[in-house]
Homo-oligomer: A and B are copies of this chain.
Amino acid sequence: MSSSSVNLKAVPGRLTSSYSEVQASRLDVSLPLPSVLKSSFSVVDGPKSSAAGNPEEIAKLFPNLFGQPSAVLNPGGSSVLSKDTSLKIGVVLSGGQAPGGHNVISGIFDYLQHCTSGSTVYGFKGGPAGIMKGKYVELSAEFVYPYRNQGGFDMIASGRDKIETPEQFKQAEETAKTLDLDGLVVIGGDDSNTNACLLAEHFRGKNIKTRVIGCPKTIDGDLKSKEVPVSFGFDTACKLYSEMIGNVMTDARSTGKYYHFVRLMGRAASHITLECALETHPNITIIGEEVAAKKQTLKSVTDYITDIICKRSELGFNYGVILIPEGLIDFIPEVQQLIAELNEILAHDVVDEAGVWKKKLQSQSHELFEFLPPTIQEQLLLERDPHGNVQVAKIETEKMLLQMVETELDKRKQEGKYKRDFLGKTHFFGYEGRCGLPTNFDANYCYALGFGAGALLHSGKTGLISSVGNLAAPVEQWTVGGTALTSLMDVERRHGKFKPVIKKAMVELEGPIQFLGPAANAINNTLLLELGAQA
């Protein structure tokens, strides 16, 4: 064992005795398994896989894994998986929380309890750093129990560190060897699963026995493919946000005088905003992908909102709710251009009070800068990250839009085109949703993902992401398998090198797939069940 390894005392961080009734009532809710996992199954390989893009580059980056088939669990058949096998499996939570993570771990633990004998599960503490530092806890039934069907990632906590440098791979390797790990399950988003695949490749290349399986996690819903229909946590988070949005909508209708600008989490894609819009039917919804596709500007988005407010006012409605994705401005090229120019200027020049510095901006960027509300202008100039760059993530988009709409309405009022006193309120729904109690859907889905990950490791697979499908059907009919992580990958050029990436899934503008796809019905059924309508 490396000198820094710390096997923390296996005492759960939660006492069920202090649980609220609803938390306690969720503890023993039984978790149905897909029927394929309930009796003997065989693990069947599919055809040779390729990559999502640039297969020749992916092949170079993953010489040992590229092309490997995806696997599917088929019922019956003569399973080669021995119940007498004893496995040592590590599990790690990587990145931001998503409801259901504890159930993935429960699923892995239960698989090993039921389908192997004398196995051990190590929970690495605080994310990938726990692997590198050899900081872990050995899981027991007593340790895992309080977390069943509960929100949060606090069973073993999470972290955002990555295993990237040769030294870090070496550290991970040492921990794997020290603990004699047969397998590792990485529960994370697109980056973490890419990292999991690199680790699988590394171990395979060095003939280390540790196999690596990923699990699709992110409330943002942007890690999905044909075989991974949804990332876990998305369902719960959207329902939590929708409840709050619904309340705000009732509030708007009751007072009849406020427009609520609601920013929703989800920076790279607008899935959460779209799903919440489908669930709650707000007055206006801005989808980042649509803004990008239509090449809209901040001015045109502002005008779009203002036009609707004016139209509604003519009809006698002076209130409403507007949903805005957190990442909106990342979808607007002119904003990206302005920020790039600002980063350049702020790095080399003095920003004078009189504004002479603005002459260095290109005319389109200058115009946009002048269009921004003063508080946002100031934020762009003052708040910088340690590298001196403008902190785009800190811009409160909902406040910015509200101020721009106010300015536009003032103008129209002076022109006699709008007659009311506009009142706006802003909200950001984010952290409240990441740690909620998982819905039945997320609880079941995660348990199956974890159970399936156990089966994949047991059958010797590596470099796959646990994949549970046919989600619109009852749980019994769900399919279970693993998708080759390399088949989800493309490359990006960074610092002159090709880097493998799992492409983020964006909102498809060709149609509201949530209405048609398998997840649509599952989500509705879950909503009914979770809120007690089954009683």
| Residues of chain A whose beta carbon lies under 8 Å from any beta carbon of chain B | 13, 20-22, 24-25, 96-97, 126, 151-154, 157-159, 240, 244, 246-248, 250-251, 253-256, 260, 425, 427-428, 431-436, 527-528, 531-533, 535
**Interchain nearest-CB distance for A12 vs B (Å):** 13
Q: How far is the CA of A433 from the CA of B531 in the complex (A)?
A: 18
In the complex, the answer to whether A531 meets B254 with C-beta atoms within 8 Å is no
Partner of A431, one of B251, B428, B433: B251
Assuming the contacts A126-B256, A244-B432, A527-B20, asked whether A154 and B250 have C-beta atoms less than 8 A apart, the reply is yes
Q: How far is the CA of A490 from the CA of B528 in the complex (A)?
A: 50
* Copies of this chain present: 2
In the complex, the answer to whether B532 meets A22 with C-beta atoms within 8 Å is yes
In the complex, the answer to whether A251 meets B21 with C-beta atoms within 8 Å is no
Contacts of A433 in B (CB 8 A): 247
In the complex, the answer to whether B431 meets A247 with C-beta atoms within 8 Å is yes
Q: How far is the CA of A255 from the CA of B244 in the complex (A)?
A: 23
Query: What are the 7 closest A-B residue pairs judged by CB atoms, nearest first?
Result: A152-B250, A153-B254, A21-B533, A250-B435, A22-B531, A251-B435, A154-B253
Given A25-B535, A250-B435, A532-B532, 13 more A-B residue pairs with CB atoms under 8 Å apart are A22-B532, A25-B531, A97-B251, A151-B247, A152-B251, A154-B250, A154-B254, A158-B255, A247-B436, A248-B435, A251-B434, A532-B535, A535-B535
In the complex, the answer to whether B250 meets A533 with C-beta atoms within 8 Å is no
**Interchain nearest-CB distance for A407 vs B (Å):** 15
**Interchain nearest-CB distance for A244 vs B (Å):** 4
In the complex, the answer to whether A254 meets B25 with C-beta atoms within 8 Å is no
Assuming the contacts A255-B157, A431-B248, A434-B247, asked whether A531 and B151 have C-beta atoms less than 8 A apart, the reply is no
**Interchain nearest-CB distance for A18 vs B (Å):** 9
Contacts of A20 in B (CB 8 A): 246, 527, 531
In the complex, the answer to whether A21 meets B528 with C-beta atoms within 8 Å is yes
Q: How far is the CA of A255 from the CA of B250 in the complex (A)?
A: 33
